[in-house]
A = this chain, B = another copy of it.
Amino acid sequence: MRTFRLVIACPDRVGIVAKVSNVLAAYNGWITEANHHSDNLSGWFFMRHEIRADSLPFDVDGLRTAFAPIGNEFKMDWRVSDSAQRKKVVLMASRESHCLADLLHRWHSGELDCDITSVISNHDDLRSMVEWHGIPFHHVPVNPQDKAPAFAEVNELVAEQQADCIVLARYMQILPPELCARYAHRIINIHHSFLPSFVGARPYHQAAQRGVKLIGATCHYVTEELDAGPIIEQDVVRITHRHNADDMVRLGKDVEKMVLSRGLRYHLEDRVLVHDNKTVVFS
């Protein structure tokens, strides 16, 4: 069922819901899902509606036109998306296949509602797996002494493909700040620890060193500061003294896959609103 998604963030005040629902009702809009959140701390209000496209007398631009006056009146950050316009996603990976394979299978079986325009990797290992899915694979090696050319190529590929969103499926390279800025809140990373614990390299080894009893994974938007962006989703799995760092790597893979795919799904369905380096997730 095709829906339009109206997503709003604005300073909270009385009457917002009435205004928004009035305009939708005025056009006979059939709301299939509605979520609200008033954040007491920041004084901001967040809202997401899904409206059946076939209940409205206009297309997605019509809805935008109809809604614009309210958006202006309440000084809203707002956007409308159309579930029929699948987001274009570029996946980036390195050598580890588990997150990539998981996303590709979910996409292949119709679970992830997006177009994967290509996979970009700094290694060639996963080419065959990607190409079996009918998706272009770009091998863009990164020279540790001079990474700029590689990221220029990445940037060009992403631009050419008009990607809406970049997913770092265990890409293992730090993106340059200007790329982070250009795709702010549109680059999704999976970090293999329960952030803010174990930022940076080899988090499972850090976890083994500290002797924690649960390990986790964190899906977050990428910002310039490493592993410090807004968190979309997290989860953990129990370990014991019997698990060494290799076991943690194995057990952690399952958490990484789950957390990344859930985070991406929320993003694709416009369920994630970012404010003050934190997220509202209408899951």
**Which of chain B's residues have a CB closer than 8 A to the CB of A97?**
105, 108-109
A10 at the interface (CB under 8 A from B): no
Q: Does A18 contact B (CB under 8 A)?
A: yes
Would you call B14 and A18 a contact (CB within 8 A)? no
Residues from chain B with a CB closer than 8 A to the CB of A46 are 241
Interface of chain A, main secondary structure: mixed
Contact of A36 among B34, B210, B216, B258 (CB under 8 A): B34
Instruction: State the CA gap A101–B216 with chains docked (Å).
Output: 24
Question: Cβ of A250 < 8 Å from any Cβ of B?
Answer: yes
Binary contact track A14-37/B, C-beta < 8 Å → 1, others 0 = 110111011011101111111111
A interface size (C-beta, 8 A): 69
Interface string of A41-64 (1 = CB under 8 A from B): 100001000000001000000000
Q: Tell me how far the C-beta of A222 lies from the nearest C-beta in chain B, rounded to whole angstroms.
A: 15
Q: Residue A242 contacts which of B37, B105, B132, B232 (CB distance < 8 angstroms)?
A: B37
Determine whether the beta carbon of A14 is less than 8 Å from that of B29: yes
Q: Does chain B have a CB within 8 A of A75?
A: no
Q: Is the CB of B109 within 8 A of A105?
A: no
Residues of the B chain whose Cβ atoms lie less than 8 Å from the Cβ of A111: 250
Q: Is A136 an interface residue (CB 8 A)?
A: no
User: Contacts A197-B197, A250-B111: A231 and B211 contacting too (C-beta < 8 A)?
Assistant: yes
A158 CB, nearest partner CB in chain B, Å: 26
Contact in complex: B241, A212 (CB < 8 Å) = no
A265 to chain B, nearest CB (A): 10
- Determine if A241 and B278 form an interchain contact, defined as CB atoms under 8 angstroms apart: yes
Given A98-B105, A111-B250, A230-B211, A281 and B240 contact (CB-CB distance below 8 Å): yes
A145 within 8 Å of B by Cβ?
Answer: no
Identify which of B102, B214, B231 contacts A234 (C-beta below 8 A).
Answer: B214
By Cβ-Cβ distance, the 7 closest A-B pairs, closest first, are A211-B278, A18-B25, A18-B21, A241-B280, A213-B234, A34-B36, A17-B21
